[in-house]
Amino acid sequence: MFTGIVTDIGTITSCERQDSGMQVQIAPATAKTFSLGQSVACSGICLTVTGMEEGGFTADLSAETLACTTAQYWQTGTKLNLERALKMGDELGGHLVSGHVDGVASLHEITPAGDAYNLTITPPIELLRFIAPKGSVTLDGISLTVNHVTPDAFTVMIIPHTWQHTTLHTATAGTRLNLEVDLLARYVARLQEYGDTHAASQ
């Protein structure tokens, strides 16, 4: 589990396509160390450290992960938001994030708001039912609060610190973002579906 609070930005230094997926080497911007077998959220995707390289680590991505996330567009030089998995007793600064991407959203518009930025996001339409005003979402591994929801989009406000210390400052209209909806919203929707199905069968 993660909290959606980015602690570092990494750079892909090597990207090797394989029949079963892809292997990447990632160099963190800081001197923070990683360990073999550790879980790391890479722009919202939970990956396992499978090898240690000088100044970074190696991770393997399956064909399924490539098909369902923005990892299919990764290449040497791509910047990634990094976060280590939570430990018992760690501060939960954002919200509970699993690192299991639900779909790929598109950044529709960036609107400056003083020192901050309003981002309009277009998600896969089937995921909109999980997104509510003042609820939480994860975009490229960043825990964010939803401001407004329309029939086909939602907005979030990015404060200067988040803008400067994540990959969002490199985003433009059309940028694809890994989207994970709130775990609680997902389970509430599933319970409602179960209740409706159960009632219909009575």
Percent of the chain with pLDDT over 90: 77
Report pLDDT for 55: 85
| Segment 90-119 mean pLDDT | 92
**188: region left, alpha or beta (phi > 0 left; psi from -120 to 50 alpha):** alpha
So what's the pLDDT on residue 200? 61
* pTM of the predicted protein model: 0.91
CA 96 to chain centre: 12
Question: What is the rounded distance in angstroms from the CA atom of residue 35 to the CA atom of residue 40?
Answer: 10
**Domain 8-84 classification at class level:** mainly beta
- Residue 16 pLDDT > 70: yes
Residue 194: pLDDT band with limits 50, 70, 90? low
When mean pLDDT is compared across 1-10, 144-153, 184-193, the lowest value belongs to 184-193
Return the CATH number of the domain spanning residue range 103-191: 2.40.30.20
Q: What angle do CA 171, 175, 177 make, to 5 degrees?
A: 100
Supply the pLDDT for residue 34. Answer: 83
Quick one: pLDDT band at residue 195, thresholds 50, 70, 90?
low
Domain boundaries, the chain: 8-84, 103-191
Using one digit for the tens of pLDDT, what is the confidence trace for 124-164?
999 999 999 999 999 999 999 999 999 999 999 999 999 99
For residues 3 and 143, the answer to whether their CB atoms sit within 8 Å is yes
33-78 pLDDT tens trace:
788 999 999 999 999 999 998 889 999 999 999 999 999 999 999 9
| Torsion angle (degrees, nearest 10) of CA 49, 50, 53, 55 | 0
- Identical fold, 8-84 and 103-191: yes
Closest CA to 178 of 85, 99, 69: 69
The mean pLDDT of the chain is 91
User: How would you write 132-199 as a 3-class SS string?
Assistant: CCCCEEEECCEEEEEEEECCCCEEEEECHHHHHCCHHHHCCCCCEEEEEECHHHHHHHHHHHHHHHHH
Q: What is the enclosing helix (H) or strand (E) of 200?
A: helix 183-200
| Euclidean distance between CA atoms 68 and 58, whole angstroms | 20
